[in-house]
Amino acid sequence: MLENPMHSIHIAFTTTDNIYDAGGVENSIMRIARGLAANYAIQVDILMLDSTGQTTFNPHGNNGVMQLDAPFERVSIFRLTSWTGNTRHEQQWIEMHYALLELAREREYDLMQAFFASTAGFPTVYAAQLLHI
């Protein structure tokens, strides 16, 4: 069993897909998260990197981080977006990356797994490297 009474494992799945949409990857991410949480008591966060979304600036932090309702125990869902209102695609990705770093620091992940290396992979690997995950 993977569960350790002193430290439960906490992992993050990152994706650019909306896991609420019907589809193969979306369903797979949720199925894997639900299975890990139910069978191994692993805390799983699903992080949706949404370059089309916007949140308002919060002077107290957690900019670009919205926690959404999750239908399963030990599964949390977050949407990461830009927050400055900038319309440049590159700037939106930089803001999402800052949101990813802040959330990863706060949630203290043991593992970060990206779905689709070409889009979600780079920010995930970069954040994991910076935070020594």
Q: How confident is the model over 58-70, as pLDDT tens digits?
A: 888 889 999 999 9
Helices (H), the chain: 24-40, 89-107, 122-130
Please give the mean pLDDT across all residues of the chain: 89
Which residue type is seen at 36? Answer: L
At residue 9, does pLDDT exceed 50?
yes
Q: Are strands 75-82 and 65-68 parallel, antiparallel or unpaired?
A: antiparallel
- Name all domains of the chain by residue range, CATH numbers in brackets: 10-130 (3.40.50.2000)
Over residues 92-114, the pLDDT tens digits come to 999 999 999 999 999 999 999 99
Task: Please tell me the pTM assigned to this model.
Answer: 0.87
Q: Is the dihedral of CA 115, 125, 83, 89 positive or negative?
A: negative
CA distances from 42 to 30, 52, 104 (A): 14, 30, 16
Q: Which two tokens stand for residue 61?
A: 């932090």
